[in-house]
Amino acid sequence: MRKAADQCWRSVLCLIWFSLSSVLNGSELKQTPVSRADLCVTEGEIGTTPSGWLSVNAPKMRAYLNASTPPAVELRFKYQGSTGNEARLGSGELRRQLGLKLRAQDACNLVYAMWRIEPESKLVVSVKTNPGQHTSAQCGNHGYRNIKTRRSRAIPHLHLGDNHTLRAEMNGEEMRVFVDKDLVWEGEVGRDALTFDGPVGIRSDNAKLEFELRSAQPLKPHSEPAGCRSGDSD
């Protein structure tokens, strides 16, 4: 009886994996726009434009989707330059950037795909891992590990008024990042990125944007929200 049950569970898990794998490696997961009400903003502010898009003009903005979805997220944005009153990172570096979060368990454990704008234009994928720590007060800016790419290409230099799309998706340890539907980064993030789990999200530093964030459909139609943990910023 136990053997039959194990085989049954293995079949179900394989089916789920195959379905997600097929979608991620073939056509895109179906994406739907995220509203302001769907986001938990842990730092900075997110507004709404007359057209219905979201906007940010804060030196630091951090937010995550208050729902459980597959690890795939897309950002359609219009770049509007600097926020003016720029803030330094925890490391002391002054950088302008925007990016996507995946598997964002908390401020100390998550995966990033960051579009660095200034002082150097490049796409960086990193894993922030701090086992046993869950708040910024505990981990600060420790635990970052930049991931070496297996295949990559240069990303565009952003100019005032430019419109682009940034999309990131994970399938197990495999991660792919696209800019305007072009594959710009592909590689393995490592097993430590699978030791935690959480929603997708967005981050910006010193970048003024109008944007639409799109996420994959929830894994469970009636899944319970993660609960907004305001003030717990990464």
- pTM of the full structure: 0.84
233: CB partners within 8 A, 6+ apart: 42, 43, 60, 62, 107, 136
What span, in angstroms and rounded, lies between the C-alpha atoms of 77 and 74?
10
Cβ count within 10 A of residue 65: 23
| Domains assigned to the chain | 29-216 (2.60.120.560)
Model pLDDT for residues 186-230, shown as the tens digit of each residue: 999 999 999 999 999 999 999 999 999 999 887 655 444 456 765
| Cα angle for residues 94, 97, 99 (degrees, 5° grid) | 140
Per-residue pLDDT reduced to its tens digit, 72-86: 999 999 999 999 999
Q: How far is CA 227 from CA 40, 96, 158, 180, in A?
A: 8, 29, 34, 32
